[in-house]
Amino acid sequence: MTDLRIADCRITPIAFYDPPLLNNGGCHQPFALRSVIEVETEDGVIGLGESYGTRSLIDAVAALAPDLRGMAVTDLNGLWARARTRVQGGMPGYTGDERLLPRVVSAVEVAMWDALGKATGQRVVDLLGGQVRETVPFSAYLFYKFAGHAGQPADDWGEVLSPERLVDEARRFIETHGFRAIKLKAGILPPEEEVAGLEALRAAFPEAPLRIDPNGGWHVHTALDLLPRLEGLVEYLEDPTVGIDGNAVIQARTDVPLATNMYVVAQSHLPPNMAQDAFRVILSDHHYWGGLKASRDLAEICRIWGLGLSMHSNSHLGISLAAMTHLAAATPNLTYDCDTHYPWQVDEVVEGGRFEFRDGSLSVPEGPGLGVTLDRDALARLHQNYLDCGYTHRDDESEMQKHQPGWRFQRPRY
Ligand SMILES: [Mg+2]
């Protein structure tokens, strides 16, 4: 009988190159932070996870790791109980941080699923209930961007700040990866310009489902004024303004579904959201909902209450992409194409190099567990990046100030 008890849990912070992409919070820094989690069983099977690279998450996982020794990789309740004790009770400075607990659980939980799958010869998609779709469709995730990072030469995408350049960016995404749906990250330029960008995308790609995500960057009255242009143009409107209350005002005035990855991000947000009919689409994200099991639970809640379901993304590499693909392939009611930042990245931390999209979709990786193995040379190189770049958290506002001195984060801005 295979020994499924945990012998060791390790977390390695990494940093990888990221282009100067713009959003309501500012500009992406030259390096994005991430972490790689390894859960090793008594038999030496290693399960992998990938999560955020912020200091608080890394400290919390490292503090929890000794408590996991001897626990079965199947014991998700045991993981939650230990994380609750360690993260909420025993982490000086972090007590009561509601957001940290599910992030810590998720970071370890994915690696536990991977270890279980690798130890027993089963794919994670099968452990999560079985594969319901052959391939998982992703969307083209468009950003406005500067030509290059402050003080550095232009990258090969160049500056994208106009509708024409946005269409060029979309064309390159679609020609390279075959995406069908198009999402525009917004909340940074004046809203009329951003909607003009969407209208240019509609003219260039008449069949593509479109979305826009201002990240809460618009006032309620701004969103209401723009509704006549957005209706019939977008499949959903993502986080147009701040909070459940504000977005409920907008949802009451339109049939376009509102979507969120900002204001319904924990189970406790679901009852007020349903009571106020603020968001009709939830963008799930296993990295902050508490892992793959919690995300499957969320999908069931969405099914029961008639909410749409899609998937949110941050800058990430292949372990996360594999986990997202297994989860999406095991989720019957995934009603929209998933988001991913992956095409903006050039680095990879798994063996075999970068994933390739076919017709905008990914097949579930072959092999047991998540179907990916760690490239240890790449891990060492990306960890060295982390040490060299000196970041401890993401800071889009100060990066933006290098391009536009005096720029200040504002939400809503317009
Ligand atoms: Mg969003």
Residue 116, helix vs strand vs coil:
helix
Cβ neighbours around 167 below 10 Å, total: 18
How far away, in angstroms, is 238 Cα from ligand 1 center? 6
pLDDT along the chain (414 residues), means of 10: 90 98 98 98 98 94 97 98 83 62 96 98 98 98 98 98 98 98 98 98 98 98 98 98 98 98 94 98 97 98 97 97 98 97 98 97 97 98 98 96 98 98
Could you give the C-alpha distances from 32 to 14, 20, 194, in angstroms and in order? 8, 11, 25
Which candidate in 185, 293, 316, 326 is catalytic? 185
pLDDT at position 87 is 86
Annotated catalytic residue 402: no
**CATH class in words for 127-363:** alpha beta
**Contact at 8 Å (CB) between 34 and 316?**
yes
- Whether 269 is a known active-site residue: answer no
Q: How far is the CA of 211 from the centre of ligand 1 (A)?
A: 10
pLDDT of residue 98: 72
Instruction: Yes or no: say if 43 and 73 are a contact pair by the CB < 8 Å rule.
Output: no
Structure tokens at 373: 């193995």
Which of these is catalytic: 149, 312, 326, 341?
312
Query: pLDDT of 339-376, one tens digit each?
Result: 999 999 999 999 999 999 999 999 999 999 999 999 99
In this prediction, residue 243 carries a pLDDT of 97
**pLDDT the model gives residue 411:** 97
Ligand 1 geometric centre to CA of 243 (Å): 13
CA of 167 to the centre of ligand 1 (A): 21
Angle between helices 163-177 and 191-204 (to 10 degrees): 50
Question: 370-414, pLDDT tens digit by residue?
Answer: 999 999 999 999 999 999 999 999 999 999 999 999 999 999 999
CA of residue 260 to ligand 1 center, whole Å: 6
Fold annotation for 6-124+375-389:
Enolase-like; domain 1 (3.30.390)
Report how far ligand 1's centroid is from the alpha carbon of 254 (Å): 19
**For the chain, domain boundaries:** 6-124+375-389, 127-363
User: What predicted TM-score, i.e. pTM, was given to this entire model?
Assistant: 0.97
* pLDDT at position 99: 84
Q: Are 279 and 247 in contact (CB under 8 A)?
A: yes
Q: What does the pLDDT read at residue 3?
A: 83
- Strand pairing report for 46-52 and 308-311: unpaired
